[in-house]
Structures are given as C-alpha cells and as structure tokens.
Chains A and B, each alone.
Chain A
Amino acid sequence: MTRQTNSPEHIEYVLRLGDNALILGQRMSEWCGHAPVLEEDMALANMSLDLIGQARMLLTHAGKLEGSGRDEDQLAFLRTEPNYRNLTICELPNADFGRTMMRNFLFASFQVLLWERLTASADGELAAIAAKSLKEARYHAQHAGDWVIRLGDGTAESHARTQGALDYLWTYTAEFFAATPGDDAVAAAGVGPAWSSLEAAWEAAVVPVLHEAMLTVPARTPFRSYGKFGRHSEHLGHLLAEMQILQRTYPGAQW
C-alpha cells in the first residue's frame, strides 16, 4: 500500500476537490423542478447528485487524512465560509440555463483533466475516487458542451446570452490555474498535479468547442477571484445558509 503523506498541503488539495464538487452540486440542485424541460430537469439533478457523490467521497477522505475525527457531514455542514476551498465559479448563481451550461462546460472540462491525472495519484484512495469521477465529469463536459454549441450557434437571443455567459464566467476561470503555496509539495509527493500546469490542456479542450459555438473567446483581464484560497464572493454565504440550516438547527440529525 502506498504510504500517505497527510501533509497539510495534501489535505488542502483533497478539500479543494471536495468543496468544488459540493458547492457546485448544491448550486446546480437549485434547478430541480425549475429546468426548462423535464428531460433537462432530470439531467441537471443527475449531475448534481454525481457531484454530491464525489463530494462525499472526497470529504470523507479529507477527514481521514486530517485525522481529527471530522466526517463528511461535519466538513460539509459545519465549516464557516472562509474554510471552504472551492473555486469561486462553483458558487456563482445559476442565472439562466445558458450560463448554467457554460459554467458546467468550463468547469467539467477542467475536472476531466484533473481526474485523468489523479487516476495515477500516489494517494490510492484519491486515485480510486478519480477513476470513478472521471466518467461522470466526461459526461458532464459532453452534455454541457453540446448545449453550448447549440445555444451559441442558435438564435440571435441564445447567441447573445451564451456570449454574455462566457464573458462573465471567463474571468473566473483564471482562478483554476492560480498557483498556490502547496503546489510543489503536493506534486513532488505524487499526490496530484499543480492546477497551474493544466492551463494549456484546458484551453485546448474548451476553445475549439467555443469556436464551434460561434463564440468569441474573451481576452484575459487582471481580474482575479480567490475562492480556493478561502476568499469568496458574496454568493457563498447565502448558499451555505440554505445548505447548513438543518445540521445547524438539529445538530447530528440523521434521516
């Protein structure tokens, strides 16, 4: 068995992966019962549950690595805002269906690259989670990418909205690749790649689809978001209030 490092950087790395899945899963679940058609309602709920399933495995694993007895529920429901390590893009409001699909496409394409590399992680548990999650992420990227193409290359209205979604979300994708202090340690230990090393592969995956969708890829701006460092947008607090209320009102509640 591979010896696990359990360094703070390692724990943080797993927490980032888990929080991305948790927060986007929670956010996307808001579509349940509200999607434009029944078929997409099912698809969005399925994908939310895929993400929440990933979050459960990752947070359970992070709790074990941490070794202070916190389980998935304590990590999911009893932390405060600055302790969440998700990318800001995951907590942004859904807005319309077009922006939801654009976010899913940009994020799932990034997740695919992460899971692909993490299947070879020196952390055996993480490698197993990656192998399972990779199939889900590939479907999410495919599904959302197909919608991006159809909406971008659709009517004048759908094109304008999709371009607007891309312009808005693109600024948040710089955060995917921002270097973090633990990058070298985690990469050296074979736990996982520095996210900054994935930028070229990610652009190679998303840009052709955006072009096929007749969209203009925005230029990078100096704007930076810092969710994965614990500095979140104003939207996370509201999401957490709804997600946490039950465990905070009835601590330890089970059903």
Chain B
Amino acid sequence: MERKEWPLWEVFVRSRNGLDHKHCGSVHAPDAKLALQVARDVYTRRQEGVSIWVVPADHIVASDPDAKPELFDPAEDKIYRHPTFYQLPDEVNHM
C-alpha cells in the first residue's frame, strides 16, 4: 500500500498582542484547518501564544545557503548604514 506523508506546515506563533508572529517549528497535517489545530496542540500547550499562522512549507521561498558570501558578506564593512552617526537635536534625542 502506498503511504504518503502529509504535507509539512511551518508554524508561527504570536506570544502576546503587540508582538510579531515568530517561527517556532513545523507540523505535518493533511490540510490547513487541521494544521492550525495540531499547531495549537503541539506549540501552545503551555500558553505560548494568542495567535497562530501556518504556512505550507513549500510556499516559503528561501535564500540559498551556498549564496551566503554574495548575499550577506558585502554588508560587513558598511558600518555607515547603521543610524548611529547622526547628532540628533535634544528635543528628539530619545528616538
């Protein structure tokens, strides 16, 4: 008999109102509705969240790990891109 794996879903949980959804893991489930339910059962048993997103794992487009040098290394010596060199007027200095 053919045994097919259920599709994989990536799970994102918002831990509190006002915070972002954060990736916390993945689940296998046959469809979107059950993916939400099993994500609830697997990842929010200890009150970890107030909202869940699930995304089919194959809908996530990821950068190529082998492309790290050309993607990320060039930013290494561009320290001027950090907004820490500006002298702010006193009135707005707590921005």
Contact = CB atoms under 8 A, between A and B. Distances in A.
Interface of A: 37-40, 42-43, 46, 142-143, 146-147, 150
A40 B33 contact: no
B45 interface: yes
B38 A43 contact: yes
Given A39-B42, A42-B41, A46-B45, A150 B28 contact: no
A154 to B, nearest CB: 9
Contacts of A42: 38, 41-42, 45
Contacts of A38: 28, 42
Interface residues of B, number: 13
Interface in B1-52: 6, 27-31, 33-34, 37-38, 41-42, 45
Contacts of A37: 6, 28
Given A39-B41, A39-B42, A147-B34, 9 more contacts: A37-B6, A37-B28, A39-B28, A39-B38, A40-B38, A42-B38, A42-B42, A43-B37, A146-B33
Contacts, number: 29
A254 B29 CA distance: 39
Contacts of B42: 38-39, 42
B41 A46 contact: yes
Contacts of B30: 150
Given A143-B37, A146-B34, A146-B37, A39 B27 contact: yes
Nearest to B42: A42
Nearest to A39: B38
Contacts of B33: 146
B45 A39 contact: no
B77 to A, nearest CB: 45
Nearest to B39: A39
16 contacts: A37-B6, A39-B29, A39-B38, A39-B42, A42-B38, A42-B42, A42-B45, A43-B37, A43-B38, A43-B41, A46-B41, A142-B37, A143-B37, A146-B34, A146-B37, A150-B31
